[in-house]
Amino acid sequence: MYWNIIFKNSENRSPKVLTRNTNLFYNVTMKIKIKTHKNRKEQFKKLFMVNRFSSGRSGKVVYLRPEYHERLLRIVQLSREEKTTLYSYIDNIMEHHFREFGQDITDYFNERNKPIL
């Protein structure tokens, strides 16, 4: 079996390939992407630091722990040039949560709430 493991990093443009031959009848290729800390920062900005709503006045009131509220405010204040509001930041977090776990949440709900008919 051939195992090709391709390592990519941001510093070196050419991927590093490790090959191991254990059986001549199979050829399997595995690609492993190594995420750098910089990419995670950019991904965070694109996901959460986007201001889609100028105001949260049409939303509902939600109570947070004081320490979470303070932490969220400090994060939002770091993005003064983007002018991300606290409402928009929390909305982005919730959107990401439901996109990532939406099917799991639906399955969880359906397991516990059987239809009457």
Are 56 and 101 found together in one domain? Answer: yes
Q: State the pTM of this model.
A: 0.55
Question: Number of folded domains in the chain?
Answer: 2
Which residues constitute the domain of residue 102? Answer: 36-117
Are 29 and 43 found together in one domain? Answer: no
Are 27 and 44 found together in one domain? Answer: no
Widest CA span of the chain, in angstroms? 65
- Tokens at residue 55, please? 């105001």
Instruction: Indicate the SS3 state at residue 5.
Output: strand
Are 86 and 72 found together in one domain? Answer: yes
Q: Where are any strands of DSSP class E within 9-111?
A: 16-21, 27-33
pLDDT of residue 28: 47
Are 13 and 52 found together in one domain? Answer: no
Are 2 and 59 found together in one domain? Answer: no
Are 46 and 18 found together in one domain? Answer: no
Are 104 and 91 found together in one domain? Answer: yes
Q: Is the dihedral of CA 17, 18, 24, 28 positive or negative?
A: negative
Asked if 29 and 4 count as a contact pair (C-beta separation under 8 A), the reply is yes
Asked if 58 and 40 count as a contact pair (C-beta separation under 8 A), the reply is no
Are 54 and 111 found together in one domain? Answer: yes
Taking only the tens of pLDDT, the chain with its 117 residues reads 344 444 444 444 554 544 444 444 444 444 445 455 668 777 777 777 777 766 666 778 888 999 999 999 999 888 777 778 888 889 999 999 999 999 988 888 888 887 665
Are 106 and 49 found together in one domain? Answer: yes
Are 66 and 78 found together in one domain? Answer: yes
